Amino acid sequence: MSVTEVEAAVIGAGTAGLVAVREILKVTDRTVLIQDGPMGTTCARVGCMPSKALIQTAEDYHRRGFLAAKGISGGEGLCVDGAAVLRHVRKLRDHFTEGMVEKTLGHGEKLIVGRARFLDAHRLEVGGRVIRAERIVLATGSRPIVPARWASLGEGVLTSDTVFELDRLPRSLAVIGLGVIGIELGQALGRLGVEVVGVARSGRIAGLSDPEVLASAMEIFSREFEIWSGHAAEVESAGDGRFTVIAGPHKKTVDAVLVSIGRRPNVDGLGLETLGAPLDEQGVPVFDPATLRVGSLPIFIAGDANGRDPILHEAWDDGRVAGYNAAREEAVCFHRRAPLKITFCDPQIVTAGRRFSEVKDLEIAIGQCRFADQGRAVIRDQNAGLLRVYAERGGGRLLGAEMAAPDGEHLGHLLAWAVQQGLTVFDMLRLPFYHPVIEEGLRSAVQAAASEVREKPRFSELAFCDESPLSSLS
């Protein structure tokens, strides 16, 4: 077999892999990018982008319910053409994917199409060709988990990989698993007229760990579609291409099933077992999160493949860290950004900084805001939700927040930025909050947390000129 010798090989042309190879190319031209399967990244093809296009369409249709009270008639005459909606989603999806495919193909002869298999820690076999690399980046992504017994039931068993390929919307849909994908797509399809039932085995929605926020979210989403909580689902064929879904005492026959119970790192069939590295319960080689290096091997694992949160900006950073290290003799470790996770449902579910589950056993001050009476939220007909912020009870340093809130994506950025910078709730209250904006709800929650903090500065909201910047008007 022919052997190609390179400094660094990258397996997978998704977000992490494309970024890794870009990082490597800053240092050396001696690299290859190996890609198997459809190009265009998970995000653009089957993830963030088509889901946002569907959600925007559903939101635009959903707003018709608020028109009559505002003096606009005719909202009841709006009509969804499901096939056209799906074509619109695919058109936008194709637009975004095109750029990623071009970027991939732009690597010319450095791009090798085929499935890579480890021969040893330095050698890969791809389509009868051997690549010998000083260092290897493993960025093979992830795929939806579907139990084999469900997958065999027919085409109506959908995942995020297939739902956007539908010709028309199903009349009824069971969404199994209300994580990020399940709640986003379930709500959007429900708003577009699909009769949706959601199954949340764990009783959780989109990873919320704060029981108060979860209760608020559960109440809000239950008003839009039926949710079966706390029972595992089973799916059976009901004939005629339909399905019976059973969960505890619940049973329903539906046209289609969206399986959204999680994603599995694509680490099987790569010959990873030849490396001798210990694997975790997902089959992912154990790696150092600060360098992304697998043990003392010359292998770095980036993006969804490493089984941490499948979030684009984290995959991007993973690609940079893995690519940086794969291009150099010595692996260095990197600080990471403050955690931020956004589910684009309505209200948006967001966790920023540390979750409630991570701080609940510490001595914390909690502040909250419900949006029911918040001016702008009322004006926008988006006044459902709950935001809770967590701060150190001692000195008031912000630790994190969970919410189901209007404008959650924006509040999440403010909160994650504040957490990363180590701001206290008092520091935050000295920053500008405009009027009338949803951010005023954040201020209310921060004020409430501040009132619980033990060591308050004498003044907390406007700073005296002649005192330290940390003392201000309470």
Residues 385-414 that bind a copy of itself (CB under 8 A): 407, 409-410, 412-414
Instruction: Quote the CA–CA distance of 302 and 138 in Å, as a whole number.
Output: 6
Residue 243 in contact with a copy of itself, rule: CB under 8 A: no
- Residue 74: CB minimum distance to a copy of itself, A: 4
Apex CA 386: angle with CA 381 and CA 387, to 5°? 115
Residue 358 in contact with a copy of itself, rule: CB under 8 A: no
Instruction: Quote the CA–CA distance of 145 and 282 in Å, as a whole number.
Output: 12
Residue (215 or 462) nearer to a copy of itself, CB = 462
Q: In which residue are the tokens 């049973």 written?
A: 251
Residue 257 in contact with a copy of itself, rule: CB under 8 A: no
- Residue 291: CB minimum distance to a copy of itself, A: 9
Residue 28 in contact with a copy of itself, rule: CB under 8 A: no
At a CB cut-off of 8 Å and minimum separation 6, what does 64 contact? Answer: 75, 76, 78
Q: CA torsion sign, 36 to 275 to 144 to 20?
A: negative
**Residue 99 in tokens:** 């750029």
Helix (H, G, I), strand (E, B) or coil at 145: coil
- Could you tell me how many residues of this chain bind a copy of itself (CB under 8 A)? 87
Of residues 83-122, those binding a copy of itself (CB under 8 A): 83-88, 92, 95-96
- Other CB atoms within a 10 A radius of the CB of residue 426 amount to 26
- Residue 270: CB minimum distance to a copy of itself, A: 27
Of residues 30-89, those binding a copy of itself (CB under 8 A): 43, 48-49, 52-53, 56-57, 60-61, 63, 66-67, 69-75, 77-88
Contact 100, 39 (CB under 8 A): yes
| Rounded (10°) angle between helices 180-191 and 48-62 | 40
Instruction: Quote the CA–CA distance of 54 and 191 in Å, as a whole number.
Output: 10
Instruction: Quote the CA–CA distance of 460 and 30 in Å, as a whole number.
Output: 56
Of residues 364-383, those binding a copy of itself (CB under 8 A): 375-376, 378-380
Residue 456 in contact with a copy of itself, rule: CB under 8 A: no
| Position among 420, 447, 448, 456 found at the interface with a copy of itself (CB under 8 A) | 420
- Residue 135: CB minimum distance to a copy of itself, A: 17
CA distances from 82 to 57, 139, 267, 417 (A): 11, 35, 36, 39
Residue (199 or 340) nearer to a copy of itself, CB = 340
Residue (198 or 441) nearer to a copy of itself, CB = 441
Q: Which stretch binds a copy of itself (CB under 8 A): 154-162, 265-273, 319-327, 450-458?
A: 319-327
Residue 432 in contact with a copy of itself, rule: CB under 8 A: yes
Residue 292 in contact with a copy of itself, rule: CB under 8 A: no
